[in-house]
Amino acid sequence: MSTVNHIAPSEAILACQGLSKHFGGIRAFTDVGFQARRGEVTAVIGDNGAGKSTLIRCLVGVHVPDGGTIYFDGRQHPFSNPDEARKSGIETVHQNLALIDELTVAQNLFLNREIVRRIGPFALLDRKAMKDQARAMLSRLSINVPSVTQRVRRLSGGQRQAISICRAAGSGAKLVVMDEPTAALGVQETANVEALIRKLREQGVSVILISHNFDQVRRLSDQIWVMRAGKMVATVRSSETTGNELVALVTGAA
């Protein structure tokens, strides 16, 4: 079992020390240290209830941790809400909270960061610019959708996830956090989303990936962090580990 080793702060896009969070009497995790290297895909794995999702929510400002410090991009950064995290350059692809079904692809990609033209005191949407840029964003990541003016409701699960990731990456985010991005997808769709994550890394975007799928984690990530029962118990380089070792770390059999 590897020890939790620390890297130089300048190498880490996101790091935390001594982080704790509990809800009433139930502790989600205690004294967690974690780092994600710049330009890498960092995976967090663990069993259901190990505290992965809560940890990530604390890191991106959805929850406020009870104790500990968070560093983002070299500076101490306690985000009090997701908006602050987003403005600093952290985008999150949530497991269930993804897209608005009734809006179009372009509207979803630009939701809450719409392009507007100022006409006197009024700010009107520049729908053409948004459609054009939406097409450019999608083709940069080789995402296929029939039309950017189509309602998201009519797209497949894989297309929707691709659009969520595109939206997260499209705003020039430094770090994209994904919670189980392929949980509900078929084999081919999962392969497409994995290709998309590799593409993000090629383009220099740091990624934090939460997953249950150990094979996927080994395929995609550079560094793996293991949580068990509210603790960060190990971290390994993906290239130096095996599926069996990961299973042992997650279950505590090692």
Partner 1 sequence: MSLPADNAPASRQAGVREESRPSLAALLIDPSFWADWASVVGLVGLVILFGVTSPVFLGVANMQAILLAAAILVVLSIGQTFVVATSGIDLSLAASVMLGAVILGLVHAAGLGIFAACVLAVLATSATGFMNGVLITAGRIPDFVVTLGTLSGITGLGLILSGGEPTMVGSTFLLKLASGYLGPFGYPVWVAIAAVLVAHVALYHTRFGVHLLATGGQAESASALGIRTNRVKIAAYTISGFCAGIASILLVARIGSAEPQINTSLLLNSVAAVVLGGVSLFGGRASILGPAIGALMLTALVNGLTLLSVSAFYQPLAVGVIVVLAALIMRYQK
Q: Which is nearer to partner 1, 100 or 247 (CB)?
A: 100
154 binds partner 1 (CB under 8 A): yes
Question: How far does CA 112 lie from the centroid of its chain?
Answer: 19
SS3 at position 150:
coil
Q: Is 245 left (phi over 0), alpha (psi -120 to 50) or beta?
A: alpha
Q: Which is nearer to partner 1, 145 or 224 (CB)?
A: 145
**Which residues ranging from 188 to 217 are in contact with partner 1 (CB under 8 A)?**
none
Q: Which is nearer to partner 1, 31 or 101 (CB)?
A: 101
SS3 at position 142:
coil
> Hunting for tokens 């595109």 — which residue is that?
166
**Which residues ranging from 33 to 62 are in contact with partner 1 (CB under 8 A)?**
62
Structure tokens at 4: 């939790």
Instruction: Give the amino acid at 17.
Output: Q
Among residues 249, 228, 251, the alpha carbon closest in space to that of 238 is found at: 249
Within 10 A of 236 (CB to CB), how many other CB atoms are there? 19
Q: Which is nearer to partner 1, 149 or 251 (CB)?
A: 149
- Sole window of 21-29, 78-86, 175-183, 200-208 interacting with partner 1 (rule: CB under 8 A): 78-86
**Which residues ranging from 114 to 153 are in contact with partner 1 (CB under 8 A)?**
114, 116, 122-125, 127, 134-135, 138-139, 144-151, 153
Residues that bind partner 1 (CB under 8 A): 62, 81-83, 86, 92, 94, 97-103, 107, 111-112, 114, 116, 122-125, 127, 134-135, 138-139, 144-151, 153-154
